[in-house]
Structure 1
Amino acid sequence: MQTPQTWIWQQADWPQFRWNEAGLSPLLAQARLAQGKVLGAARLLDSSLNLEAVASILVEDGLTTSAIEGEQLDVDAVRSSVARHLGLPTAGMPAPPRAVDGLIDILLDATQRHDQALTSERLCAWQAALFPTGRSGLHPIRVGELRGEAPMQVISGGVGREHVHYIAPPRDGLDAQLQTFIDWFTHAPAGMDGLVRAGLAHLWFVTLHPFEDGNGRLARALTDMALSQDERQPMRLFSLSAQILRERESYYAILERTQRGGLDVTEWLAWFLAQVAAAASAAETTVANTLAKARFWLRHQNTPLNTRQRKALNRLLDAGPDGFEGGINTRKYMSLTKTSRTTAYRELAEMVEKGCLVPTDKGGRSSGYVVAW
C-alpha cells in the first residue's frame, strides 16, 4: 500500500513551485514601494551615519534571528561584535563570545559578499560558525557537515504530548537535493522577481533542513543574501528577522501549512512579501533615529561628559524616542554603567543640567529621564 503524501517534498513534481502572479501583484508593489522608501531615506545619510544605521540593523538582526529560535543573546556582546566587524569604536565593550562573532560573520558574509558563489562548502562553514564548540546547548552535534541518518523532525510538546510540526526529507539523496537548490539559487529563472526569489529560497532551504541545527538562522541569512542581490547593496538597511520575530507565531504557522501542502506556494509568498513591506517600513524609523542621534551629538559635541554618561546616552539614543521603556533611572544607570547609587544619581543630574536628559512626567518609583531629542 502506497504511503499517502504528507509533506511538500513528497509531491511528485517537487520542487516545481507554483504561485498566482496576479494575486501577488498588489503585495509585491507594496513591498517594492516600502523598499524604495527606505533606500531613498538612507541616501540622506553620509557614509559615517549610513554605517551607524547599518550597525543598528545588524545588531537587531543578530539578536532577533537568534530570538526566533528561543536563544537570547547578550545585547552588549552583539553590539561589541558588530562594532569590531565594522571598525567602529569598541572602548568599554566586552569581548564577544565566539558563537556571537560567528553569527555576525555569517550575516556580513551573506550581505557584503552577496556576489560570491553560494556553495555547499560555504553553507557548511556558516553552520560551523554558529556552533564553534561543536555543541548546541549541552548536546554534541555535527558541525560543518550535513545531518546524519537519523530522521530530522521538528517537534514540540512534552513527553507523551509531542506534536510533529514537520519531517524533513531523508538523508539519502539530501546532497543532490541541496545541490539542486544551490544551482537554482545561483541561476534563478530569467524574469523572476527578486523578492519572490528570496521568499522561495527561504522556504526551499528550511524545507530541506540540511543540518542538525541552525537551519532557521541559515535560511534567514540566505534570505538576506538574496535581498542584497536584489538591491545590489552590500549592507542590509532593514531587518527581516526582526519582523519575523514580531510575527513569530504566524511565521511558524504559515511554514507548517505550506510544508504540509502542495506546490502552490502563493499563500507563503503573500505572507513573505507582507513581512518585507513591514520590515522596510520599520527601518525608516531606524534611519530617522540615526539622523536624530547625529543631530544630538552635534549639539553636544562640546558638552563635557564622562565615558559612563556617553555610554548611557548612546544606549538611549540607539533605542529611539520610544525604545527605552520608562527612560533611565538611577537603578538602570547603576546596572548599565556598573557604578554606585550616589554616582549614578549625581551623573544623571549632571546630564539634566547640561540639557542632555529631561525628567519624565512620572514621579515616585517610576521617575526617570529621557533624551532631550
Structure 2
Amino acid sequence: MTQNTPWLWQLPEWPQFNWERQALAPLEAQFLARSGQLVGASQHLAENDRETLRIDWLSNEAMETSAIEGEMLDRDSVQSSVRRQFGLKTDNRRSGPREAGIAEMMVALYRDFDGPLSAESLYDWHRMIMNGRRDLDVIGGWRQHSEPMQVVSGAVYEPKIHFEAPPSVNMDAEMAAFVDWFAGSRDLPAITRAGLAHFYFVCVHPFEDGNGRIGRAISEKALAQSLGRPSLIALSEMIARKQRGYYDALEAANRSLEITPWLLWFGETVLEAATLSQHKMTRLIDKTKMFSRLSGQLNTRQEKALLRLFRAEPDGFVGGLSAANYRQITGATAMTATRDLTDLVTKGALRKTGERRYTRYFLDLPPL
C-alpha cells in the first residue's frame, strides 16, 4: 500500500462494509449443518465427558489464541486455571498471571456468550488478558498514546507499514459505533457476522495490546449467539495452523471496504475448525469406549501412555509411539515397556507397525 492510499477508516463510507451475500451462502449453510452434527455427537457423551470436552476446548483455545500472538503458555497451568474458574477440583497448581488471565477471559466468554457486548465487558477482557503486565500505559481502557498505532515490518531505517489504525483520540467514537453495530447485527448470518466483527474490531485496534485475542473472542461470541449456545469449535487452533494466511488475508482486506475475500477465507477456516472439533469429539467418544472396555485390565503405566496418545488426537502422535517414547512417558524399563506394549496390542488398544527399531504403535481406532 502506498503512502497516498487512504486507510479504510479514512474513507468517507467507513465503516460501511460490502460483501457478496450469495458467495457466502453455501458456507453459511455448511456451518449450520456441521454445528448440528456437533450437537448431535455431544449427545453421545456422558456428563463427565461433556465436562472434559468443555475444559479441553477452553484450555486449548486459550493456548492457541495466545500462541498466535507469540505467547507460549503452560498447558497444565491454563487447564488448572479453567477448572478453577468453574469451581472444579484442581491439582492446586499455581498458575502464572498470563495463564490465569486468558483462562478467566475464555470462561467469561463461555458463560456470558449471549450477553451484550459493551465497552465495560471489553475493558474487563483486556484486564484479564493483560494480567501481570506493567509495560502498558492503559490496561482496561482504550489506548491514549499520541503516536500512530501501526503494524510495521522491516528495518528501522526502511519500515514497511502494513496497517495504521485510527488515532487514539477517535477511540471513544469508533468503539461506541462498533458496540452499537454489534448489538444491531444479530440478524446477519453466523459466519458473516463473526468474520465482519473480527475484521471491523481489528481495523479500529482500540487497545495498546491484545487486539488479536479480543478480536477472536468477539468472533467466538458472534458464532455462539448465532447458534444460541457456545460453539465449541476450534477456531483459534485452526487460525494458528493457518497463521500466515490469516495475516495475509487481513492485510489484503485493508485495501477496500468490499471484504468478500476476507469473509470467504474466514468462513472456510470456520468450517475447517468445526470439522476439527467434530474429530476431537469423536476421539473423546472413542477414548471413553476404550477405557470402559478395558476397565480393570490396564496398569497405571498403560493408562498414562494411552491418555498421552489420545491427547495427540485427532492428528495422532507424531511419528507413532516407539518403545523409547513409552519409556520416557511412563518411566518403565526396556523389558517392561516391551511387555506393556505387547499386552496393549493383544487387548486391541494399539496396533503395531514395522519391526525392531522401526516398530511403532498407534491407537487402534476407526478412521475419521
Q: Could you tell me the TM-score, scaled by structure 1's length?
A: 0.86
The offset of 1:70, in angstroms, is 2.2
1:144 to 115, 140, 148: 140
Question: Which secondary structure does the structure 1 equivalent of 2:169 belong to?
Answer: coil
Question: Which secondary structure does the structure 1 equivalent of 2:70 belong to?
Answer: coil
The offset of 1:204, in angstroms, is 0.8
Q: Counterpart in 2 of 1:315?
A: 308
Q: Counterpart in 2 of 1:69?
A: 69
Q: Is the 8 A contact 2:283 2:310 kept in 1?
A: yes
Q: Counterpart in 1 of 2:182?
A: 185
User: Which amino acid in the other structure matches residue 305 of structure 1?
Assistant: N
Q: Tell whether 2:118 aligns with 1:128.
A: no
Describe the shift of the 1:89–1:365 C-alpha distance in structure 2 as closer, same or farther (beyond 3 A): farther
Describe the shift of the 1:254–1:43 C-alpha distance in structure 2 as closer, same or farther (beyond 3 A): same
Question: Which secondary structure does the structure 2 equivalent of 1:173 belong to?
Answer: helix
User: Which amino acid in the other structure matches residue 21 of structure 2?
Assistant: E
Higher relative contact order (CA 8 A, sep 6+): 1
Q: Counterpart in 2 of 1:346?
A: 336
Cα RMSD (Å) = 2.6
Question: Which secondary structure does the structure 2 equivalent of 1:143 belong to?
Answer: coil
Q: Counterpart in 2 of 1:371?
A: 363
Q: Counterpart in 1 of 2:299?
A: 305
Q: Is the 8 A contact 2:302 2:340 kept in 1?
A: no
The offset of 1:75, in angstroms, is 2.7
Describe the shift of the 1:13–1:276 C-alpha distance in structure 2 as closer, same or farther (beyond 3 A): same
Describe the shift of the 1:372–1:26 C-alpha distance in structure 2 as closer, same or farther (beyond 3 A): closer
CA displacement 1:221-249 (0-9 Å, x = unmatched): 1111111111111x332111112122212
CA displacement 1:50-101 (0-9 Å, x = unmatched): 222233322331222122122222333333333444466644x843322112
CA displacement 1:157-209 (0-9 Å, x = unmatched): 343353211111001121111111112212326x3223211111101111111
2:172 to 175, 179, 195: 175
Question: Which secondary structure does the structure 1 equivalent of 2:353 belong to?
Answer: coil
1:156 to 148, 153, 156: 153
Describe the shift of the 1:47–1:127 C-alpha distance in structure 2 as closer, same or farther (beyond 3 A): same
Q: Could you tell me the TM-score, scaled by structure 2's length?
A: 0.87
1:327 to 313, 320, 329: 320
Question: Which secondary structure does the structure 2 equivalent of 1:312 belong to?
Answer: helix
User: Which amino acid in the other structure matches residue 178 of structure 2?
Assistant: F
The offset of 1:321, in angstroms, is 5.8
| Aligned counterparts of 1:371 and 1:345: Cα–Cα separation in 2 | 21
Q: Is the 8 A contact 1:127 1:218 kept in 2?
A: yes
Q: Tell whether 2:210 aligns with 1:251.
A: no
Q: Is the 8 A contact 1:147 1:211 kept in 2?
A: yes
The offset of 1:285, in angstroms, is 0.5
| Aligned counterparts of 1:319 and 1:106: Cα–Cα separation in 2 | 25
Question: Which secondary structure does the structure 2 equivalent of 1:165 belong to?
Answer: strand
Question: Which secondary structure does the structure 2 equivalent of 1:172 belong to?
Answer: helix
Query: 5+ unaligned residues in a row in structure 2: which ranges?
Result: none
Question: Which secondary structure does the structure 1 equivalent of 2:98 belong to?
Answer: helix
Structure 1 stretch 208-217 or stretch 58-67: which is displaced more? Answer: 58-67
The offset of 1:348, in angstroms, is 6.5
Q: Counterpart in 2 of 1:104?
A: 103
Q: Tell whether 2:309 aligns with 1:278.
A: no
User: Which amino acid in the other structure matches residue 353 of structure 1?
Assistant: D
Describe the shift of the 1:192–1:58 C-alpha distance in structure 2 as closer, same or farther (beyond 3 A): same
Correspondence 1:1-80 to 2 at 5 A: 4-80=4-80
CA displacement 1:314-350 (0-9 Å, x = unmatched): 221122264211233455456545x4x63x7635633
The offset of 1:146, in angstroms, is 1.6
Q: Is the 8 A contact 2:143 2:168 kept in 1?
A: yes
CA displacement 1:12-54 (0-9 Å, x = unmatched): 0211112121222223223333233223222332332222223
Question: Which secondary structure does the structure 2 equivalent of 1:115 belong to?
Answer: coil
| Aligned counterparts of 2:311 and 2:42: Cα–Cα separation in 1 | 16
User: Which amino acid in the other structure matches residue 110 of structure 1?
Assistant: L
Query: 5+ unaligned residues in a row in structure 1: which ranges?
Result: none
Question: Which secondary structure does the structure 2 equivalent of 1:317 belong to?
Answer: helix
Question: Which secondary structure does the structure 2 equivalent of 1:166 belong to?
Answer: strand
